[in-house]
Amino acid sequence: MTLRQLEIFYAIMQAGSVTGAARTLNVSQPAISGALKYAEQRLKMKLFERIGGRLHPTPEALSILPDVSEIFGRIDTLQRVMQEMRDGRSGSIVVATSPTLANAYLPQAIGLFHKVSPQVQISIHSLPTPLVIERVARREADIGLVYAHVMDPSVEAEDLTITEIACVLLKTHPLARKQQICAADLVGESVISLGPNTMLGKLIEETSRKFGGVAPVIQIEASSSLTACLLVAEGAGVALIDKATASSRKFNDLEFRSYEPKITVPINLIYQRARPRARATVQLAGFLKKVVADAESSG
């Protein structure tokens, strides 16, 4: 039997009549009757007997019904999975991101995403920027979130936002009275920041020298902006980090102040070039853009 003939047989068994099967499959009653007759001819056995004006399945029909039901149960499952994939409600996403950006924008975006697509599995890989680009280029990650403009020809970059370096300090710190803090204000302070080998660390040092100043002496190197904020909260010093970290809104005891000289940093979304993007990936990127827009509109 062909799959179409199996479908007609299953519809008749479910509906209990040719008329009901025709209604279910949205075809004419003669079409159902003709297809059933042809299937029985090919099988060389009866599937239904007409008794008292009604169709009754033969023992042979009843014996194959469990297998046919299993086939169409799997088809129903496949259709549901495909529908969920089309709507971005199933599957998996691998996100590669720098350690700081793993704590800025991304948690809020994933929270929003999970509310509408709870079945999607998400894996977050926190890596240095070169490795993020490499993972995306090699298709080991569906989407990347990195600092700086990405020029690698194997990935496609999309501007997400522009952030800047900020000075973070306790609300009770004397410098918190200032709206803008410069390098000279940090003389004598215990400064916390990312290491000189990180992109943000290099930017702080290079920009300070470019404008004729002296780069702040970093006394505590943190692995991420989140770690730096936690250190500030414990009274370990003041920090120079990405202002985007403030988007988490988890630091009620801290103040984020503008830093002079101003150091701007672009943030990019990256994808593997020439690879179709899954709906779930597009959906997550949309939530990232929403979180950024909301953060920027709220100041």
Between the alpha carbon of residue 54 and those of residues 16, 48, 241, the distances in Å are 9, 10, 79
Q: Which amino acid is at 37?
A: K
| Residue 212 pLDDT | 62
pLDDT at 145 over 90: yes
**Beta strand 238-242 pairing with 155-170:** antiparallel
Yes or no: domain 164-264 corresponds to CATH 3.40.190.10: yes
pLDDT at 285 over 90: yes
What mean pLDDT do residues 268-287 have?
90
| Residue 50 pLDDT | 84
Protein fold of 3-86: Arc Repressor Mutant, subunit A (1.10.10)
Output Rg (C-alpha) for the chain, integer angstroms.
31
Q: Which residue has the tokens 């199933």?
A: 90
Whether the Cβ atoms of residue 193 and residue 227 lie closer than 8 Å to each other? no
Mean pLDDT check: name the lowest of 122-136, 194-208, 219-233.
194-208
Q: At what angle do helices 29-43 and 18-25 cross, to 10 degrees?
A: 110
Distance CA 175, CA 88 (A): 47
pLDDT in tens, 87-144: 656 678 899 998 888 888 999 999 999 998 888 889 999 988 889 998 998 888 999 9
Indicate the domain borders of the chain.
Answer: 3-86, 92-161+266-297, 164-264
CATH architecture of 92-161+266-297: 3-Layer(aba) Sandwich (3.40)
Exposed e or buried b per residue across 50-66, where buried means at least 16 C-beta atoms within 10 angstroms of its C-beta:
eeeeebebeeebeebee
What mean pLDDT do residues 149-159 have?
88
